[in-house]
Amino acid sequence: MKSLIIALALVAAVPLPAHAEHRTPRDLRELAYQNGIRIGSAVNIAALRDEADYRKVLNREFSHVTAENAMKWESVEPERGVFTWSDADALVDNARRNNQKVRGHTLVWHNQLPAWLTSGVENGTIDAAELREILRDHITTQVRRYKGKIRAWDVVNEVVNDDGTMRQSIWLTHLGPGYIADAFRWAHRADPHARLYINDYNLEWNAPKIETTFSIVKDLQAQGVPIHGIGFQGHLGIQYGYPGDWANVMSRFADLGLEVAVTELDVRMELPVTSEKLATQADYYRRALTDCLGVKACREFTVWGFTDRHSWVPGWFEGEGAACLFDENLAPKPAYHALLGVKKA
């Protein structure tokens, strides 16, 4: 027995072949492991529940997940004081079973708000003081429910317009710009260990939006507000060209001490699909991951849905689509294989 134990110990001590850690990964999870990053997807909850093939690919490929809609305000509190957690719970429970981290999305946004809230503000039955209490209670209730179960929250989402001005949401109009700092403070009190992000689109290239967001972050930091990360949504289209300065923009925010995450990446194209367009799309996905891996602070690379079967793009961009890594039949596209070939420098 003693000799057998010694023999087994010697076998265990033999290092893996040098090429083992550098081989082409078999899937995105292995790619994430090799590169020390989390690779995730937004999740369609109906598909998670009802489609076994969707569920299989999601849980095989991704080490990080985001609720596409299940954690937005109209989903979790459709009536005042009446919370419906079943969809959000389903995402969190599935992630726990499959060793996935979770991004909470989103606590404060101008969109997808419940009618009881927007109508109450518009008709004056909810004044500014009450609105502030409602926002505080919403953030506190949601973050506390998932305390210790969510790695990072998109605390405020899309607060800057493309021209660099602040978005005139009900929050800014009635509470003033201080609502942003309040939201971060409330979220931090509810879960001191969650990483708290500001998240927006077109930050990859839009100079006015970049500068305003940069100023917001610096101002929050000067106030001692707990902000930990910057989320680049990354909704790209091949007809517009790749945002070639993206890595430098990431680095600017990283130099403020922030984590960086690609939070909602997809790469749409004008239909019909051609092999040339798929090749360009693959190059964009490859470049996006390369840019992320080139910035030490980039901790997460999440796509906004992984299959064209459930992509949001056709419903928002007429004549465009095919934006995801897998097609409608869950067959991997050239973009998927392009990602598997990316290695950290």
Residues 252-263 pLDDT 10s: 999 999 999 999
Domain holding 250, by residue range, is 24-340
| 10, part of any domain | no
Q: What is the DSSP string of 73-109?
A: HHHH-SBTTB---HHHHHHHHHHHHTT-EEEEEEEE-
| 161, part of any domain | yes
pTM of the model: 0.93
| 3, part of any domain | no
pLDDT at 324 over 60: yes
| 295, part of any domain | yes
Residues serving a catalytic function are 264
Q: At what angle do helices 246-254 and 207-222 cross, to 10 degrees?
A: 10
pLDDT at 280 over 60: yes
Q: With contact defined as beta carbons under 8 Å apart, do 7 and 315 qualify?
A: no
Q: Is the dihedral of CA 118, 120, 124, 128 positive or negative?
A: negative
Q: Where are the beta strands (DSSP E) in the chain?
A: 38-43, 64-67, 101-108, 152-157, 195-200, 229-232, 235-237, 259-270, 298-303, 320-321
CA–chain centroid gap for 97, Å, is: 20
- The backbone torsions φ and ψ at residue 126, rounded to the nearest 5 degrees and listed phi first, read -115, 110
Instruction: State the Cα–Cα distance between residues 111 and 73, nearest whole angstrom.
Output: 9
- pLDDT in the model for residue 20: 43
pLDDT at 265 over 80: yes
Instruction: State the Cα–Cα distance between residues 233 and 319, nearest whole angstrom.
Output: 21
- Helix (H) / strand (E) element for 313: namely helix 313-316
- pLDDT in the model for residue 23: 81
Q: What is the pLDDT of residues 133-151, one digit of tens each?
A: 999 999 999 999 999 999 9
pLDDT averaged over the chain?
A: 94
Instruction: State the Cα–Cα distance between residues 286 and 335, nearest whole angstrom.
Output: 7
Q: What is the mean pLDDT of residues 78-97?
A: 97
Token pair for 119: 């109508």
Q: What is the mean pLDDT of residues 67-88?
A: 97
- pLDDT in the model for residue 21: 56
Instruction: State the Cα–Cα distance between residues 113 and 108, nearest whole angstrom.
Output: 9
The greatest distance separating any two alpha carbons of the chain, rounded to the nearest whole angstrom, comes to 82
CA neighbours closer than 13 Å in the CB half-sphere of residue 9: 6
Name every residue whose Cβ is closer than 8 Å to that of residue 272 and which is 6 or more positions away in sequence. none
Token pair for 268: 């749409």
Number of domains the chain is built from: 1
- The backbone torsions φ and ψ at residue 29, rounded to the nearest 5 degrees and listed phi first, read -60, -45
- pLDDT in the model for residue 10: 32
Residue 35: pLDDT band with limits 50, 70, 90: very high
- pLDDT in the model for residue 1: 41
CATH number of the domain residue 109 falls in: 3.20.20.80
Token pair for 277: 């367009």
Instruction: State the Cα–Cα distance between residues 258 and 339, nearest whole angstrom.
Output: 25
Q: With contact defined as beta carbons under 8 Å apart, do 74 and 110 qualify?
A: no
Pairing of β 320-321 and β 259-270: antiparallel
| 12, part of any domain | no
Instruction: State the Cα–Cα distance between residues 338 and 315, nearest whole angstrom.
Output: 26
Instruction: State the Cα–Cα distance between residues 42 and 52, nearest whole angstrom.
Output: 17
Q: With contact defined as beta carbons under 8 Å apart, do 164 and 212 qualify?
A: yes
- pLDDT in the model for residue 329: 98
| 9, part of any domain | no
Q: What is the pLDDT of residues 281-323, one digit of tens each?
A: 999 999 999 999 999 999 999 999 999 999 999 999 999 999 9
Among 13-17, 182-186, 238-242, name the one with the lowest average pLDDT: 13-17
| 1, part of any domain | no
| 5, part of any domain | no
The number of residues in the chain equals: 345
Instruction: State the Cα–Cα distance between residues 114 and 265, nearest whole angstrom.
Output: 26
Name every residue whose Cβ is closer than 8 Å to that of residue 315 and which is 6 or more positions away in sequence. none
CA–chain centroid gap for 276, Å, is: 28
